[in-house]
Structure 1
Amino acid sequence: MAPPVQPVLPRLEATVAPPTRQPPPLADEILEEIFLRIASPADLARASAACVSFRRLIADPSFLRRYRSIHRPLLLGILCDGFQPAEAPHPNAPAARALACADGFIFDYLPGRWQHCDVCDGRVLLQCIPDDEKDGVYFPDLAVCDPLSRRYLLLPPIPDDLVASAQVQEHKIRFFDAFLVPSGHEEEASFKVIGRTHCTEKLVVFIFSSGSSRWSVGTSTSWVDLSLNTPPGIILGWPHYEYGCFYWKVNWRNRLLKLDINRMEFSTVDLPPDHDERDVVIVEAGEGRLAMLSLIRNGTAVDYYTIMQNEGERVNEWLVENVIPLPCRCNFVGASEGYIFLLGVQKTQDTVDAVCFSLEIKTLKIERLSSIKYLYVHVHSYFGFPPFMSPRRI
């Protein structure tokens, strides 16, 4: 009997597994919204190192402008007799120590001997006072430096014909100061420097633009036109920049001198009574309001004023909104990026130290920043991002 025929099974072809579906890549717009929610600049720097596409998005100037509008830069220390980093227990002390290890704040890579006169947007404005004065007109040499990259630009001198056109030589120059114009992060690669010439009878503003590499005359006015021509003479404090305007306290007067840099116009702002001898700082209060912190004469507290500014109208009345007690007797020594800086003497069981404090305008929180050698100085605060977030083409 023949064996049964075994059925022939059809040949099984090799089964090909269906391709694994990869998740679609996130759109750049979604990634940007994710990155904007990273509160720490250091964490954002780590995210940028993950891949080329992340770095491309994070390093883009448009993203950085959005990020900086939400997250303020880190307060890392002050410039006063060198760089003084934020000290523990300040929350930014670790990042400040890392920055202090760099030697870019010594400025020994510039020719000559320099001293800082302003700090803004990570740049440091330096001046080198010449040994002689040309034709009785005193203008220091100026340089703008990025201490993180050690790159700098020596500014050209103000041309003689420009000085002559402003008629500066006809008036005795009492003082010249220079300061940087905050960029608002609109264009990180450019900057402007204002040189304010304080003469016996007039004020003249010169402007240097890195875009044109030239100086120009911004505006000029007389003390008489500002109703500031009475003795004992005009002495101005340090400039404060808010809402596109620079403000100076006129010492021994109840007045502020105001320079609108968009209109290039000088004007004055009245202060409350009894402010002729007070030290004040002008800051932004939000919602179009201007704020003033006024140091009480014994230096143990600060009056917090606000005022609403109306376009085309004189400012309204200053209103006292708060009185801020200070940790010790202090003096104002600077203001920038939403902070006011104070110097005071703090006593402990073993020592008596000169200490710099920061006062955050938004929260009115006071923190100890660092010890300091000198009690009566003007300090320049230094704020920074990781180097890749601070591209500077000086």
Structure 2
Amino acid sequence: MAPPRMVPALADVLLEEIFVRIDSPADLARASTACVAFHRLITDPSFLRRYRSLHPPLLLGFLDFDGCGFRPPDETHPSAALARAIARTTDLTFNGYYPRAAGAYWQLWDIRDGRVLFKSGPEDDNEVITEFAVCDPLARRCLQLPPIPNALLASVQVQKQYFEGSDAALVPSGEEDDDTSFRVIARMDFIEKVVAFVFSSDAWRWSVGTSISWYALSLPRGYDEMSWTADYAYGCFYWKFADLNGCLKLDMSSMEFSTVDLLPGFDFDMNFFTIVEAGEGRLGIFTLTNNDTSLCYCTVRQNGGERSDQLNLGDKIPLPAGLSSHPGLGLLLRHAAGVELGDDTGV
């Protein structure tokens, strides 16, 4: 008597549990070519999101803010060969396929989930910066986002306020997000308030995320002493204050601005300051100390309010003599899966 056939749905579940345990993205890509059923399972967006959550992406190198191009990792790095292959087949200078409007200057601004965000500066210092573009370097595609409508500015009563400056970032994709969709957060600073606008590729429009007055944040009117790029950890964006030992925090789940004290007495250099997830809800902070001769790492546990506590100082790592440091030099470029998986390949 022939053994009973396995229920197809159960077979898919077992195969997924096997595939998700494959450590190498290259091996996973090869498995996807074995048969149609394997390819269907491995290229399913829900499986790929799960796989990426369990297997950190590989380091490919760095993209410079200043337009110097791609910097691959050292030859001894495990992903050096992959980085060379990507560099040979991909135009990481973005020449020829990002917007080149007359008089516009496009600057590389952020990288996340396989996409690169470009930001264009205005000719007039008081003009609201509304020009953004999102590129996929592997597919050589670029989408220029529509400007923030005047009606949206009017809805938060800033259309006649003096414009102080802005920042923008790609919002990390959630587990349930479609791989083809993305969001951009734009922080706009005006004389009376700070506003967060959110762009959704699904709706293809901007909306108001939140706004708050500088007074409500206990900051001076027209405050503009903040870091020019954001860090992201545990669902929140952080911008370091230049003259205060703290950060402006934007919680993306509650869509609320607040200020966070990073504990007085510890010297943070805003130009060389990065917040990361340190595990167990703690914030990890990298900064340069001792006249930029050492790299310091510490962890901070927040108590749920505006003040942080339990500062744990880590090691101070001496930097090589004569090392030239440049704030905001580059953005980390990472690779999430083998190029054989097509559009799911990420940087």
**Same structural fold, with TM-score higher than 0.5 when normalized by the shorter chain:** yes
| Secondary structure at 2:159 match in 1 | helix
Which of 56, 71, 76 in structure 2 is aligned with 1:84?
71
* Counterpart in the other structure of 1:7: none
Please state if 1:248 is matched with 2:239: yes
CA distance in 2, matches of 1:96, 1:231: 44
The reply on whether 1:322 has 2:310 as its aligned counterpart is no
Q: Which amino acid aligns with 1:289?
A: R
- Written as runs of structure 1 = structure 2, the 5 A alignment for 1:26-65 is 27-65=11-49
Higher-Rg structure is: 1
Structure 1 position 391 matched with structure 2 position 325: no
Establish whether residue 114 from structure 1 lines up as the match of residue 106 from structure 2. yes
Residue 258 of structure 1 is matched in structure 2 by: 249
Residues 263 and 308, structure 2, Cα contact 8 Å, conserved in 1: no
Structure 1 alignment gaps of length 5 or more: 1-17, 330-343, 346-353, 355-373
What is aligned with 2:275? 282
| Code of the aligned partner of 1:56 | R
CA 1:103–1:114: 2 relative to 1, 3 Å = farther
| CA distance in structure 2 between the aligned counterparts of 1:301 and 1:182, rounded to whole angstroms | 31
Work out whether residues 165 and 189 of structure 2, in 8 Å CA contact, stay in contact via their aligned partners in 1: yes
Matched-pair contact (CA < 8 Å) for 1:251–1:277: no
C-alpha contact 1:245 1:260 (8 A) present in aligned 2: yes
**Alignment gaps of 5+ in structure 2:** none
Contact 1:307 / 1:319 at 8 angstroms: preserved in 2? Answer: yes
CA separation of 1:227 and 1:167: change in aligned 2, threshold 3 A: same
Question: Deviations along 1:235-274, whole A, 9 cap, x unmatched?
Answer: 3342111111001110121111111111111111112223
| Distance in 2 between residues matched to 1:166 and 1:56, nearest whole Å | 46
Alignment check: 8 A CA contact 2:262 2:307 kept? no
CA distance, structure 1, for counterparts of residue 15 and residue 327 of structure 2: 48
Query: How far does residue 289 in structure 1 lie from its aligned partner after superposition?
Result: 2.1
- Bigger CA drift: 266-275 or 247-256? 266-275
Cα distance between partner residues in 1 of 2:222 and 2:156: 25
Q: Secondary structure at the match of 1:99?
A: helix
Tell me how many residue pairs correspond in the alignment.
Answer: 331
Are residues 252 and 277 of structure 1, via their aligned partners in 2, closer, same or farther at CA, if it must alter by over 3 Å?
farther
Instruction: Name the residue aligned to 1:123.
Output: 115
Q: Higher helix share goes to which structure? A: 2
Deviations 1:134-157 (CA, angstroms, capped at 9, x unpaired): 9x4232421111111112222111
SS of 1:281's equivalent in the other structure is: strand
Q: Secondary structure at the match of 2:329?
A: coil
Residue matched to 2:81: 94
Verify: 1:147 aligned to 2:137, yes or no. Answer: yes
Whether the 8 Å CA contact 1:253–1:277 is kept in 2: the answer is: no
Task: Provide TM-score, normalisation by structure 2.
Answer: 0.85
TM-score by length of 1: 0.76
